Amino acid sequence: MDTIPSVDLREFTSGQPDRKLKFTQDIGDAFEQIGFVALSGHFLSNELVEELYAEIKGFFGLPQHIKDKYEIEGIGGQRGYTSFGKEHAKGRKEGDLKEFWHFGQFVENDPVLEAEYPANVKVDELPNFNKVGKETYKMLEKTAQYVLRALALHLDLEETYFDPYITNGNSILRPIHYPPITQEPKNAVRAAAHGDINLITLLMGAHGKGLQVQNHRGEWIDAVARPDQLMINVGDMLSRLTNDRLKSTIHRVVNPPKELWGVSRYSIPFFMHPISQMPLNCLEHCVDDEHPKHYADISAGEFLHERLIELGLIKK
The mean of the pLDDT values for the chain is 89
Does the structure show a pLDDT above 50 at 89? no
Closest CA to 237 of 304, 137, 157: 304
Confidence class for position 189, pLDDT limits 50, 70, 90: low
pTM: 0.90
The SS3 of residue 199 is coil
Q: What is the pLDDT of residue 76?
A: 76
- Going 203 to 263 to 121 to 48, the CA torsion angle's sign is negative
Q: What is the pLDDT of residue 90?
A: 55
The SS3 of residue 54 is helix
Closest CA to 267 of 62, 52, 46, 82: 52
* Contact (CB, 8 A) for 216 and 226: no
Confidence class for position 241, pLDDT limits 50, 70, 90: very high
* Contact (CB, 8 A) for 269 and 46: no
CA end-to-end span of the chain: 39
More confident residue, 33 or 207: 33
Mode of pairing for the β-strands spanning 265-272 and 176-178: antiparallel
CB atoms within 10 A of CB 279: 12
Q: What is the pLDDT of residue 208?
A: 64
* Contact (CB, 8 A) for 303 and 197: yes
Does the structure show a pLDDT above 50 at 88? no
Q: Residue 36 forms beta bridges with which residues?
A: 233
Residue 314 phi, psi (nearest 5): -135, 155
- % of the chain residues with pLDDT over 70: 89
Mode of pairing for the β-strands spanning 200-204 and 176-178: unpaired
More confident residue, 261 or 153: 153
Instruction: Map out the domains of the chain with their CATH numbers.
Output: 6-310 (2.60.120.330)
Does the structure show a pLDDT above 90 at 204? no
More confident residue, 134 or 310: 134
Overall average pLDDT of the 119-129 stretch: 96
Q: Residue 40 forms beta bridges with which residues?
A: 8
Does the structure show a pLDDT above 70 at 267? yes
Mutual angle of helices 17-33 and 129-154, in 10-degree steps:
90
The SS3 of residue 11 is helix
